[in-house]
Structure 1
Amino acid sequence: MADENIVARFARTIRNLLIPPPFVPDFDEHPDPLIARLEWAIACLPEQTREVFLMHRFDDLPYDRIAHRLGISEKAVEGEIARTLCAIRKARDDYDREQGE
């Protein structure tokens, strides 16, 4: 059940980042391959990296609160966010490159 919640949070978050809410397709009926690719990229990250990203982007927590909750430094939180954004950027670039071929 916890895995289903994480997947739902990923899908909701990625859709909100890519498409304004009024135009969000029903993910279950019409899966967007780009969203699926980005979800996969996030799911492949280490657990702590994913958790930091979700806490910051979806729970809207600042770096200092995330650091306190996880017992890591703010610099570590910053690094985890950067790592996730790089993974998302790479997944999107790979997708765009494949679509251009």
Structure 2
Amino acid sequence: MLAQGGGSLMADDNLAARFARTIRDLLVPPPVVPNFDEAPDPEIARIEWAIARLPEQTREVFLMHRFDDLPYDRIAHRLGISVKTVEREIVRVLCAIREAREDHAREQSK
């Protein structure tokens, strides 16, 4: 019973730390304030769209690795999947990003 409470407490602490880091990042002013009158970068929009279309687990693995700096083994443990599955999910995201960038480059060259 204590282990369950401790595990839940640790999960709450991790979530709180992740939330605090996100809030901190939002409060730090960006080095360059973008002009909101101009259109968003179409290449970035295409990449965001490509990532949003991926399955939820794939997106979660990507976010945990790239934004939470978690190694593959910790991601695998947290999600209850194998390290090999984490590797495949990362490859899937990177391929989607590469395809989105290639599509954008093809459009720009027309």
TM-score by length of 2: 0.67
1:62 alignment partner in structure 2: 71
State whether structure 2 residue 98 is matched by structure 1 residue 89.
Answer: yes
Of 75, 81, 87 in structure 2, the residue corresponding to residue 78 of structure 1 is 87
Structure whose alpha-carbon radius of gyration is higher: 2
Matched to 2:52, the amino acid is A
- Cα RMSD for the two superposed structures: 2.4
1:3 alignment partner in structure 2: none
Q: What is the alpha-carbon distance in structure 2 between the residues aligned to residue 31 and residue 48 of structure 1?
A: 27
> Can you list the C-alpha shifts for 1:46-85, whole angstroms capped at 9, x where unaligned?
0000000000000000000000000000000000000000
Q: What is the alpha-carbon distance in structure 2 between the residues aligned to residue 78 and residue 34 of structure 1?
A: 25
> Can you list the C-alpha shifts for 1:13-64, whole angstroms capped at 9, x where unaligned?
xxxxxxxx74574679641111100000000000000000000000000000
Matched to 1:47, the amino acid is E
Q: What is the alpha-carbon distance in structure 2 between the residues aligned to residue 28 and residue 59 of structure 1?
A: 31
Kindly tell me: are residues 80 and 27 of structure 1, through their superposed partners in 2, closer, same or farther at Cα, counting changes over 3 Å?
A: farther
Structure 1 window deviating more from structure 2 (21-30 vs 70-79): it is 21-30
Structure 2 stretches of 5 or more lacking a match?
1-21
Structure 1 stretches of 5 or more lacking a match?
1-8, 13-20
Q: What is the alpha-carbon distance in structure 1 between the residues aligned to residue 90 and residue 69 of structure 2?
A: 13
Q: What is the alpha-carbon distance in structure 2 between the residues aligned to residue 44 and residue 28 of structure 1?
A: 27
1:44 alignment partner in structure 2: 53
Kindly tell me: are residues 29 and 68 of structure 1, through their superposed partners in 2, closer, same or farther at Cα, counting changes over 3 Å?
A: farther
Report % sequence identity: 77
Give aligned pairs, total.
83
